Amino acid sequence: MKGFKEFLMRGNLVELAVAVIIGSVFAKVVETFTKILTDFIGFFGGAPDFSSVNIGGVNIGNFINAVITFVITAAVVYFFVVKPYNAMRARFKKAEEEAPAEPTSEELLTEIRDLLRARNI
């Protein structure tokens, strides 16, 4: 029972649960945005639903719909999640690089030694 409790209290499990919840809500946002874009495609190019497209008696329309939805979803995720995240991460990384480096323990010990030598003169 102790191992199960440790498993439940592990930080990764909580982070994963939050990611799943946020991801499911974000999926609805992306789905709605995709619907808006397919409506625009339908407005300019005719019907946005390709489910009735057949080639040689084989219905490929649902596949075409799935590909369009995938491309739109990938674009939304890239431009609204990945790209801003990478820009923010680069900004924070640059700020960390500009911060003065902390001295190592050897450097601190050398400084203490030199100060003690100077006091004993």
The C-alpha angle 59, 32, 53, rounded to 5 degrees, equals 15
pLDDT at 65: 84
pLDDT at 47: 67
pLDDT at 83: 93
- What Rg, from alpha-carbon coordinates, does the chain have? 28
Checking if the pLDDT of 110 tops 90, the result is: yes
The C-alpha angle 102, 108, 114, rounded to 5 degrees, equals 140
Q: Do 31 and 61 sit in the same domain of this protein?
A: no
pLDDT digit string (tens) for 58-75?
889 889 888 888 888 888
Q: Do 54 and 106 sit in the same domain of this protein?
A: yes
Domain extent, residue 98, equals 48-120
Q: CA nearest 31: which of 82, 8, 65?
A: 65
Burial class of 69 by CB neighbour count within 10 A (0 to 12, 13 to 18, 19+):
middle
75 vs 69: CA distance, rounded Å: 10
Number of domains in the chain: 2
Please answer whether residues 64 and 50 qualify as being in contact, where contact means their C-beta atoms are separated by less than 8 angstroms. yes
pLDDT digit string (tens) for 4-58?
877 777 767 777 888 899 889 988 888 888 888 878 877 777 767 778 888 888 8
> How much is the average pLDDT of 95-115?
84
Q: Do 5 and 29 sit in the same domain of this protein?
A: yes
The C-alpha angle 79, 82, 87, rounded to 5 degrees, equals 95
Q: Do 6 and 53 sit in the same domain of this protein?
A: no
